[in-house]
Amino acid sequence: MKVGSESKSVVEELRESRDLSHEGRGELTREEGDNKIHNSGKLLHAYILRTNQFSNTFLVNRLIELYSKCGHTTSARHLFDQMPVRNIYSYHAVLDACCKSNDLDNAYQLFAQMPERNSVTWNLIITALSHNGYENKALENFYLMRLGGFEPTRFTLASVLSACGGASDVECGRECHGVAIKLGLDENFFVGNALLGMYAKCAFVRDAVEVFKDLPEHNEVTFTAMMKGLMETDRVHEAFDMFKLMNRVGISIDSVSLSSVLGVCAKSGFEDFVVDNDNDGNWHNVHGKQIHGLVINLGFERDLQLNNSLLDMYAKHGDMECAEMLFDNMSEVSVVSWNVMIGGFGQKYNKERAMEYMEKMKNQGFEPNEVTYVNILAACVKSGDVETGRQMFDNMSCPSLSSWNALLSGYSQNEHHREAVMLFREMQFRNVQPDRTTFAIVLSSCAGMGLLDGGKQVHAALLKGEVYTDLYVASGLIGLYSKCSKIEMSKHVFDELPQYDVVCWNSMIAGLSLNSLDAEAFIFFKQMLGKGMLPTEFSFATVLRSCSALTSLSLGRQIHDLIVKDGFAIDMYVGSALIDMYCKCGDVDGAWQFFDAMSCKSTVTWNEIIHGYAQNGRGDEAVTLFENMILTGTKPDDITFVAVLAACSHSGLVDSGLKIFNSMQQEHGLEPLVDHYTCIIDSLGRAGRINEVEALIDKIPCKDDPVVWEVLLSSCRIHADVNLARRAANELFRLDPKNSAPYALLASIYSSLGRWDDVKDVRGMMDERQVSKDPGYSWVEHKTRMHTSLGS
């Protein structure tokens, strides 16, 4: 009877625990509920000990599981260590406890000690490794599992495919895909979603789409994975279309899918998802605001993570006014919320507001973390105040790698490339281990300086680390060698890569184009397509430049067809490259047809078409286009005026050019630059209006720019104006005494007038100043061989 009464007491305690957890669910937190169940577990533990049932392995296993579910891994492990008799389920119970608490060291130790294993064992360890960032270790254990003769389950394959995606190991992913097909699991919900996610993370979107199509049914996980994959490969329009499809077919929209689509909106550029309000001239993020409305309609407006995603979306689009309104009305904020606001103001180059928000953050009891300081540092350097950024960095007791990278990025973005390289060396002296971002930034700075030796040193440092084959870093190396005219080294880096992504292909194509190897660039582009890579906007813009350089209209039209097929014709940069290609290939009417059909025209596209007409000697039409641009309300920029003024100069439209030039300041508030002055000087000079040239020369602020005087000297040569020519030449002698061109031009003007004594004087000046004339040369191509001859 004593045992029975004790048993009743335990049962009553358990029933009380259960009733409390159900009845008080609205008030009892999960932690309080777990503690209540844990206390009940201890009562059971005591009862088992008192009734001498500790040798009952089944009961003790269940007790270990109870401790594990309450989050008391230490108690579970202590109980396991004391067990007199263990079986495989005992190991599974404690292994599961360690894995759930992310105690991977103990988990792996237990795994190694197990006297026997089965599929569940392998699933537990592979899943734990995969979910905690040890993707390669998870894949190693999967191979060992297969070698041991164990057949993977749907859970195994889902975890392994997740690890493949995290490690960007598409080859292993394809192998797992084959195993899934063999086992008939490829259409399983878990495996199918994992397959889709793996291909998406590895940027093989075409494969992800095929998996998506083959799945018998879809859920919010399927659509969210597809959205993320499209977003990460910059296919933001398609990602947003996927969300609209998800909504249309009635898939339940949860907070995760909303966060994902907000990430799509955050990643898109202004041109993709905004309209211009003519009344106040402000940009409005239409799609992002629509999602914001959906968040409210679905009752998620108090969800902190979603609100942070909304803040991030507004901040990424520079709409800090909406971000502030949302922030001020949030029922709950976190350090992440503050960091997004600080980072947003930094993106807007407003370091004062960023610092103001950090002070508010501290005053409201939030402790700034590493991200906060990195964002403040980034705000300083993005505002151009690299010195303040450096001071903040130097005041950090132990700057993290993110801080080093933020300062490096600031130096690089502000074209302080030498300082960036020196900071990288300082990192090495302090034994700070660089990552892929560090290497990419410093390689960019070396490329910006044309510093080949420095780049080679970085390359050598890469060989010692684990990021040598990282695709992001490899792209930086390809770019460095390309910009330093070492295209063979770029090819070597590319050929050595174990796998490729579209960024590496783009870097290689751009490098070939930069080195005037445009035919090879086009061949590489075709090879990229053959490998199943989907071109990006950058791919198309680059290969179109190669078509322009080759003046190959047929190739350009082929690329145009592909652009339309892939849906990139609406992209501003691709559209501009297409217009440029048609114009440089002499098909101005083709350029106009494409331009006229564009639904959204920007300043960039207007500039390109005006420049194209100017290049092809159709100055009147270029001026008409400029006037139409103004009428549409599109704001011209410096480049617009260079294009239209050049058109006026080449077509002899002097008065039109002067009128447009004078409108720069008076009507558009733009200060003329040296390029604008040289266009007008050239235009007046060609027309023989030398007096007006002289009057303009006396007013211009950029008198120390040699281009101005070179243009003037060339104009004097046409009209044999000796006095003005002499003035222009003297200015050029002052600015660059060793340049032979002005001496040659002045001597040519004198010789055309038969003033041989003056020609002799100019040559005497050259001898006195030790200026040597650069030899000219002529070339002729005959049967694929190039023949050249030097001139005197």
| DSSP state letters, 625-636 | HHHHHHHTTPPP
- Render pLDDT for 126-143 as a digit per residue (tens, 0 to 9): 888 887 777 888 888 888
- Render pLDDT for 724-744 as a digit per residue (tens, 0 to 9): 777 777 777 777 766 677 777
In a domain, 144, yes or no: yes
Query: Are residues 620 and 700 both part of a single domain?
Result: no
- Render pLDDT for 62-82 as a digit per residue (tens, 0 to 9): 776 676 676 666 766 666 767
Query: Are residues 434 and 525 both part of a single domain?
Result: no
Map tokens 């330093």 to a residue: 484
- Number of alpha carbons in the 13 Å side-chain half-sphere of residue 217: 7
Give the list of residues 6+ apart from residue 779 with CB closer than 8 angstroms, or none: 786, 787, 788, 789
Query: Are residues 554 and 471 both part of a single domain?
Result: no
In a domain, 235, yes or no: yes
pLDDT above 70 (res 174): yes
Mean pLDDT of the 5-21 span: 42
Alpha carbon distances (Å) from 115 to 118, 150, 156, 558: 11, 16, 21, 64
In a domain, 27, yes or no: no
Give CA–CA dist 393/398, Å, rounded.
9
Query: Are residues 683 and 778 both part of a single domain?
Result: yes
Mean pLDDT of the chain: 79
pLDDT above 90 (res 624): yes
Radius of gyration over every alpha carbon of the chain, rounded to an integer in angstroms: 35
- Number of alpha carbons in the 13 Å side-chain half-sphere of residue 373: 21
- Pairing of the two strands 785-790 and 777-782: antiparallel
- Under a CB-based contact definition with an 8 Å cutoff, are residues 194 and 179 in contact? no
Confidence category of residue 582, pLDDT binned at 50, 70, 90: very high
Confidence category of residue 519, pLDDT binned at 50, 70, 90: very high
Query: Are residues 263 and 372 both part of a single domain?
Result: no
Tell me 498's DSSP state.
S
More confident of the two residues 188 and 564: 564
Closest CA to 741 of 706, 694, 768: 706
Among 231-245, 502-516, 753-767, which stretch is predicted with the lowest mean pLDDT? 753-767
Tell me 150's DSSP state.
P
Judge if pTM exceeds 0.75: no
- Render pLDDT for 348-396 as a digit per residue (tens, 0 to 9): 778 888 888 888 998 998 888 878 888 888 888 777 778 888 887 887 7
Closest CA to 197 of 178, 212, 179, 182: 212
In a domain, 6, yes or no: no
Amino acid letter, 266: A
In three-state secondary structure terms, 268 is coil
In a domain, 95, yes or no: no
Query: Are residues 311 and 422 both part of a single domain?
Result: no
Map tokens 């608490």 to a residue: 101
Q: What is the pLDDT of residue 511?
A: 92
Give CA–CA dist 311/336, Å, rounded.
10
Mean pLDDT of the 523-532 span: 90
Residue where a domain terminates, one of 598, 613, 628:
598
Q: Which of 37-41, 231-235, 542-546 has maximum average pLDDT?
A: 542-546
What percent helix, strand, coil does the chain show, rounded to 5?
75, 0, 25
Query: Are residues 677 and 787 both part of a single domain?
Result: yes
Q: Which of 28-32, 141-145, 332-336, 412-416 has maximum average pLDDT?
A: 332-336
Alpha carbon distances (Å) from 534 to 204, 267, 498, 562: 8, 19, 19, 11
Query: Are residues 682 and 647 both part of a single domain?
Result: no
Q: What is the pLDDT of residue 623?
A: 92
pLDDT above 90 (res 609): yes
Q: What is the pLDDT of residue 44?
A: 65
Confidence category of residue 520, pLDDT binned at 50, 70, 90: very high
Query: Are residues 582 and 630 both part of a single domain?
Result: no
User: Could you tell me the two tokens for 713?
Assistant: 């000297």
Q: What is the pLDDT of residue 627?
A: 92
Among 634-638, 659-663, 672-676, which stretch is predicted with the lowest mean pLDDT? 672-676
Domain hosting 617: range is 601-652
Residue where a domain terminates, one of 374, 392, 410:
392
Query: Are residues 556 and 450 both part of a single domain?
Result: no
Give CA–CA dist 410/384, Å, rounded.
8
Residue by residue, DSSP assigns 448-488 as: HHT-HHHHHHHHHHHHHSS-TT-HHHHHHHHHHHHHTT-HH
288-291's contacts with Cβ under 8 Å and 24+ in sequence apart are: 288/262, 288/313, 288/314, 288/317, 289/322, 291/258, 291/261, 291/262, 291/265
- Under a CB-based contact definition with an 8 Å cutoff, are residues 173 and 202 in contact? yes
In a domain, 300, yes or no: yes
Residue where a domain terminates, one of 460, 475, 492:
492
The count of structural domains within the chain is 7
In a domain, 119, yes or no: no
Query: Are residues 317 and 364 both part of a single domain?
Result: no
Query: Are residues 277 and 290 both part of a single domain?
Result: yes
Alpha carbon distances (Å) from 45 to 34, 51, 84, 404: 16, 10, 15, 52
CATH number at residue 688: 1.25.40.10
Give the list of residues 6+ apart from residue 549 with CB closer than 8 angstroms, or none: 513, 516, 518, 584
Mean pLDDT of the 519-548 span: 90
In a domain, 785, yes or no: yes
Give CA–CA dist 631/215, Å, rounded.
52
